[in-house]
A and B are shown apart, each in its own frame.
Chain A
């Protein structure tokens, strides 16, 4: 047990180290595009880490996490656009001004995503199995159609805000500095996940996944535990959405679409469900594949689909699963 723990820790450190090394190395060679790709991988990895808390550790197969990703993005876009116009975001019940301070926007994005997760989770967790998947998907789709039919913030066209938000002491426009922010938040989320999953709460969550009836029998109601995990998960994904909005300086309904939910899920599964750094590896590989396959064919998504299919059918543990299994056999 101890040995495998060490091996897992080593793999986690290697994955995170590779991500940082890619960004730093690319910066040294003056390759700004690759730094941006690494930033994207860190952000998607963060979203995957968020989903993994609910999906990997809690067994909650949410197909609606794009909702939280998009909410985080829209909060960021809305605050930033109001800040540049000098108008308040809302004046009821009290005046909230726009902002372009990341440190002010992140809590807002996480709060909004968390509230949405509370409502969606409270309703969806009344169901289980296939119902849960479809209900979370449907709620996310509801927000997607809402964003499309709400012209105030761009509707179908999305919302551009031109200037990246600021972080005290850093130039967020410098690719490596923005990468540093994203990677630091990813590291915090990873440590948070590691601590939470080892805590009494996290262990109960995993117990409820493995055997719900037995958990009930020892006197724990899984509902509240699962809802808490779902909300925490939504908040982390909301933060990732905020970072993604800042990366592109643009938000659109596509951040809320079910393709996004599917992709976040792919990051988790590609890397390995319920493994700490699995989603980070998954996101990085996804972006790598996007680049490589995109260079081979215009129809690269079909190739991606076939590859995913092969992984599901023949390597159910994800890619980290392949690595560790080989490690254990050796």
Chain B
């Protein structure tokens, strides 16, 4: 029973990581850009959701606002800053997007203060449901799993079935060629960046509703999303999904099970310590193993 609950938690965590990693991997794959400020867009979405939900009293409007606001912020950032960085080396991209984090974080602190905000879920989304087998499980976590699955299907459809998807894939393959064929690359890049930003902002709003909305919330998630992208392979949406679920499951189950496993051979207090420290490193060990076996990631085409 505990295992089933933790597996669902892992699935929910994985879906949330997927929302983050999908945007990152798209931006890497299509534009070859490393965007550290992706976590800031996540935070931006969460704050937009909290602010709009507080102003209008409607959680749903807040959720919609997180998508719109993060997409708008993403598009703006792309046009003002990111656009100048595509031709630069990764070092400049890292530094510039690191600078963007500072601006975003301090700007948000200035606007909203240092105290965390809390979102109240509407009654239709709060509470627990009883799953087959008698397990009581928070409804909202199931909703997140559902949203994640819907986004995964939607992205798959977008990329494989639509005109925009064809252009995105073409942009990944050869940016000069699609430019020569008359595709407005600048606009395509802005759209892809805004799409990634919207996903990040949406993830931020969902997680913010579960925990709290605060400055700096995006940074730990960003690093996990990096781990997901490294495991899955750059540019691969499928890789992002598989990697995210692997990381989510490994982290959740490791934290739930390792202390208990160690308690069988060690005394309780050192088992808890060793179990907890090892569990916190588990996903990075997973990443190291994947790198040793496949340096380009599970579904990556090139290293």
Contacts and interface: CB of A to CB of B under 8 A. Distances in A.
Interface in A259-316: 262, 265-266, 269, 273, 299-302, 304-309, 312-313, 316
Most B-side CB within 10 Å, residue of A55, A124, A137, A307: A137
B284 A316 contact: no
A134 B222 CA distance: 10
Contacts of A126: 291-292, 295
A33 interface: no
Interface stretch (A149-157, A171-179, A212-220): A149-157
Interface stretch (B45-53, B68-76, B97-105, B175-183): B97-105
A273 B230 CA distance: 26
B280 A149 contact: yes
Interface stretch (B106-114, B155-163, B190-198): B106-114
Interface string A110-138: 00000000000001101111110111011
Contacts of B143: none
A139 interface: yes
Contacts of A304: 99, 102
B99 A305 contact: yes
A146 interface: yes
A138 B100 CA distance: 20
B79 interface: no
Given A146-B277, A269-B91, A269-B95, A301 B100 contact: no
Contacts of B28: 130
A258 B92 CA distance: 17
The residue in A145, A148, A150, A307 that gathers the most chain B C-beta atoms within 10 A of its C-beta is A145
B264 interface: no
B94 interface: yes
What does DSSP make chain A's interface, helix, strand, loop or mixed? helix
Given A123-B292, A149-B277, A138 B227 contact: yes
B96 A133 contact: no
B273 A305 contact: no
Contacts of B96: 308-309, 312-313
B295 A127 contact: yes
Contacts of A152: 273
Contact of A266 (B98, B226, B277, B288): B98
B43 interface: no
A61 interface: yes
Contacts of A130: 28, 32, 34, 90, 234
A302 B107 contact: yes
Interface in B16-46: 28, 32, 34
B135 interface: no
A131 B91 contact: no
B122 to A, nearest CB: 34
Contacts of A273: 91
Contacts of A301: 102, 105-106
A61 B303 CA distance: 15
Contacts of B223: 137-138, 141, 258
Contact of A134 (B84, B110, B230): B230
Contacts of B295: 126-127, 131
A305 B100 contact: yes
A123 B102 contact: no
A322 interface: no
Contact of A135 (B84, B106, B230, B279): B230
Given A127-B295, A130-B32, A265-B94, 8 more contacts: A129-B303, A258-B223, A266-B95, A266-B98, A305-B106, A309-B100, A313-B96, A316-B92
Interface of B: 28, 32, 34, 81, 84-85, 88, 90-92, 94-96, 98-103, 105-107, 109-110, 219, 223, 226-227, 229-230, 234, 273, 276-277, 279-281, 284-285, 287-288, 291-292, 295-297, 303
19 contacts: A123-B288, A123-B291, A127-B303, A130-B34, A131-B230, A133-B94, A134-B229, A135-B287, A146-B280, A149-B273, A150-B273, A151-B273, A265-B98, A300-B106, A302-B110, A304-B99, A309-B81, A313-B84, A313-B96
Interface of A: 55, 61, 63, 123-124, 126-131, 133-135, 137-139, 141-142, 145-146, 148-152, 258, 262, 265-266, 269, 273, 299-302, 304-309, 312-313, 316
Top 3 A-B pairs ranked by shortest CB distance? A305-B102, A302-B106, A142-B284
